[in-house]
């Protein structure tokens, strides 16, 4: 009998999968548009595969990826603070030349990280991905 049938995928994990499908789509689109592949694009694909078809490494990859994202967001924040101290009038952020307000960007990044932490470290996620 298939073990995934005895232990159904938690709803919270389905929500995370939807977000990772979107993130992976954006990562692939970005990789094609700039013609380079980075670690986050590759890792998001691996995480998505691990979420869709749990394997022995799925839970570990998800945890490492979430922690790595946190470190990058912290580093990005530190650089932004330093840049703001040096030239506050020239500090802008953009996504494909569309300007993004700093407060919106920070709110979205922190919300994304919190959502991932809550779902990743739930016991139901661990039991599902570790089967």
pLDDT attached to residue 6: 63
In sequence order, what are the residues at sequence separation of 6 or more whose Cβ sits closer than 8 angstroms to the Cβ of residue 115? 15, 16, 19
In a domain? residue 65: yes
What's the mean pLDDT when you consider all of the chain?
86
In a domain? residue 21: yes
In a domain? residue 26: yes
Containing structural domain, residue 106: 3-123
In a domain? residue 106: yes
pLDDT attached to residue 1: 46
pLDDT attached to residue 92: 65
In a domain? residue 131: no
Tell me if residue 93 falls in helix, strand or coil. Answer: strand
State yes or no: pLDDT of 3 exceeds 60.
no
Count up the domains in the chain and report the number.
Answer: 1
pLDDT attached to residue 130: 86
Tell me what the mean pLDDT of segment 49-75 comes to: 93
* pTM for this prediction: 0.81
pLDDT digits (tens, 9 = 90+) for 75-118: 988 888 888 788 766 666 666 667 777 778 788 889 999 999 99
pLDDT attached to residue 87: 77
In a domain? residue 128: no
With bands split at pLDDT 50, 70 and 90, how would you rate the model's confidence at 4?
A: very low
In a domain? residue 9: yes
Q: What is the 3-state secondary structure (H, E, C) of 19-73?
A: HHHHHHHHHHHHHHHHCCCCHHHHHHHHHHHHHHCCCCCHHHHHHHHHHHHHHHH
Tell me what the mean pLDDT of segment 66-82 comes to: 90
In a domain? residue 130: no
């Amino acid at each position: 009998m298939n073990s995934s049938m005895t232990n159904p995928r938690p709803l919270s994990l389905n929500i995370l999968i939807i977000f990772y499908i979107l993130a992976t789509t954006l990562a692939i689109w970005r990789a094609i548009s700039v013609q380079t592949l980075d670690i986050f694009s590759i890792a998001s694909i691996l995480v998505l595969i691990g979420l869709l078809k749990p394997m022995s490494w799925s839970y570990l990859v998800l945890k490492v990826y979430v922690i790595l994202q946190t470190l990058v967001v912290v580093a990005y924040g530190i650089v932004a603070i330093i840049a703001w101290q040096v030239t506050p009038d020239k500090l802008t952020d953009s996504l494909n030349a569309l300007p993004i307000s700093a407060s919106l960007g920070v709110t979205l990044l922190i919300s994304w990280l919190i959502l991932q932490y809550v779902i990743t470290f739930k016991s139901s996620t661990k039991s599902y991905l570790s089967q």
